[in-house]
Amino acid sequence: MSVDKKWIVREQGDPAIVSQLTQELGIDHVLANLLVQRGVTSFEKAREFFRPDLSMLHDPFLMKDMDRAVERLHTAIANKEKILIYGDYDVDGTTAVALMYSFIRKETDGNNIEYYIPDRYDEGYGVSYKGIECAHEHQCKLIITLDCGIKAIEKVKYACNLGIDMIICDHHLPDADLPPAVAVLDPKREDCNYPFDDLSGCGVGFKLVQAYSQRYNIPFEKIVSLLDLLVVSIASDLVSVTGENRVLAYYGLKQLNENPRKGLQSIIKLSGLEKHKITIDEIVFKIGPRINAAGRMESGRTAVDLLTSRDDEDAKEIGEAINIHNNDRKNIDREITMEAIDMVKEMPGFKTKKSTIVYNPDWHKGVVGIVASRLVEAYFRPTIVLTKSNGFITGSARSIPGFDLYDAIESCSDLLENFGGHMYAAGLTMKEENYDLFCERFEQYVRSKITNEMLTPIVTIDSYLDFKQITPKFFRLLKQFQPFGPGNLSPVFITENVYDNGNGRKVGSESGHLKLELIQEDEPYRHISAIAFNRSEHFDHMQAGNPVDICYSIAENYYRGIANIQLRVKDIRNREDLF
């Protein structure tokens, strides 16, 4: 189940600058070209790129309202007021709550601080009245929200009426009017001049911690241990790994690999990563989903319990429970994905539609976002997957590159009870009687805005490469481009005229993937291992000795504790199809 892709080779860097960097840095011209494509055009910029330093972090007081936030937090700590840390139930929210809670716990006796994660099914996303009432019941005088709150105008007013102040730490796009909180920290505020606006929610929380430490003479070294939580949020929330985030992710990975907190160490072991050098990819595909599973299957509070645990046995026990939730989540999302695909296949006129909307009132609300992503992979259209919860139809939406999903949903806002999100991912809730009209209007909007080019998935290729160039030195230098992520994606290469050496085979539970040993036409004695996920349709063609072109990234594959170079094939093109 795959959609034909269009291959586009990126514009190559200025030859003169590429040549200069090749000489000054003593590296392969392909690597120099990759640097120039990423805006690294001088020796000095290359040094900053390859050697991120914590001194490069911006002054946190450049963020609007930071002074007010720091002073209100200090007043609460000094007067031993009760503080509630409030965050969303996803990875960004739970890591942010764990980060803030861990910091304040160190600065107090720990008796005046609580944390609250809303229930995905009962309360939904963001600040809830139930959460504010919980703070009131516990006599909290200050709520710090993390990864949420930027649109909670009425709820902040409600808290104020109960005598509770609020500090909002968020990174989502605000409306014209801001909540009447004591401080609203959000680098996306129009009146905020902070130099970097793509922090995660956890990242905004860290800047508050950094500012407090700076103002009250807490050595920076004492908050570096929080960066393992921050890199998990940066990776899982898919914010850009450029600018300040690159520095934070670099040192967060260092902390995660060398001295992770007990809860993360538990997840690392359960993920089989204890002998690996953990990268952004491992967080995205192995660590993040396990933390997310708590909020999807039970309660996000369990994730915070894990991430703030100071006891080995507790961390092990909670980690194992979360791992079971993750296995349950995988089984459920696999079942629902199959049901959704069957539903799509039977949908009248689906081939002519520009969007995908599927609804089953019995589907598990916690996995509909994952299923939406799977359907986008399968059919490459803006997709909404809906179920029923608390008497309403509710669900998640995912988009394709270039199409603004949020605008499409907003165009139907009169049919919705609530909605939120951004260009590529969103959530929505509606009354059941509005479902048919919503489907019709959403499809009309998509059809009016989307282009045929958008509906063709694109593989963006950085450079041509021959197998003979993939030397240990080349790979060692390529690894220094990490951490990879949005804005600094793992480079994609194209190699033409390659063959399987005869040892290729189908792998995976349904034989959907290919494990290959590839050779290039002019180097028949050198082979290189490759894995091609969901590309088993090419097996017979390659087994017959036919040449193909491949585009791929280069990674490390660990087997029995030994790391080897492996190509991760993104697409395969039969040579004869070109002529």
What are the structure tokens assigned to 124, written together? Answer: 């939904």
Cα-Cα end-to-end distance for the chain: 25
Cα–Cα distance list, 457 to 72, 252, 376 (Å)? 49, 32, 10
| 267 SS3 class | helix
Q: Supply φ then ψ for residue 526, to 5 degrees.
A: -110, 130
Residues 333 and 200: their CA atoms lie apart, in Å, by 26
Residues 218 and 235: their CA atoms lie apart, in Å, by 27
What are the structure tokens assigned to 118, written together? Answer: 């809303």
| DSSP string covering 364-406 | -GGGHHHHHHHHHHHH-S-EEEEEEETTEEEEEEE--TT--HH
Residue type present at position 314: D
Average pLDDT per block of 10 residues along the chain, 579 residues long: 80 95 95 96 95 97 98 97 94 96 92 90 84 96 96 96 97 92 97 96 98 97 97 93 96 97 96 89 92 80 94 93 88 92 91 94 90 93 94 94 93 91 86 96 96 91 94 93 93 94 86 91 79 90 91 86 87 76
Residues 326 and 334: their CA atoms lie apart, in Å, by 12
- In total, the chain counts a number of residues equal to 579
- 3-class SS string, 207-228: HHHHHHHHHCCCCHHHCHHHHH
CB proximity list for 345: less than 8 A, separation 6 or greater:
none
Count other Cβ atoms within 10 Å, centred on residue 20.
16
**Alpha helices of 26-149 — where are they, by DSSP H?**
29-37, 43-50, 66-78, 91-107, 129-137
CATH numbers and ranges of domains, the chain? 18-50 (no CATH), 58-324 (3.90.1640.30), 347-449 (3.10.310.30), 459-578 (2.40.50.460)
Q: What is the pTM of this model?
A: 0.89
CB proximity list for 537: less than 8 A, separation 6 or greater:
2
Alpha-carbon torsion (207, 209, 212, 213), positive or negative: negative
Contact assessment for residue 529 and residue 514, using Cβ atoms and an 8 Å cutoff: no
Going by C-alpha positions, the residue among 318, 310, 355, 524 that lies closest to residue 447 is 355
Going by C-alpha positions, the residue among 459, 461, 464, 577 that lies closest to residue 520 is 464
Question: What integer pLDDT is reported at residue 559 of this predicted model?
Answer: 73
| DSSP string covering 270-286 | HTT-TTS---HHHIIII
Contact assessment for residue 203 and residue 230, using Cβ atoms and an 8 Å cutoff: yes
Count other Cβ atoms within 10 Å, centred on residue 11.
7
Question: What integer pLDDT is reported at residue 1 of this predicted model?
Answer: 46
| 165 SS3 class | strand
Compute the C-alpha angle 143/144/145, nearest 5°. Answer: 110
Residues 64 and 467: their CA atoms lie apart, in Å, by 51
What are the structure tokens assigned to 333, written together? Answer: 């999302």
Question: What integer pLDDT is reported at residue 199 of this predicted model?
Answer: 97
Residues 331 and 335: their CA atoms lie apart, in Å, by 6
Cα–Cα distance list, 275 to 26, 111, 279, 283, 561 (Å)? 32, 37, 12, 14, 6
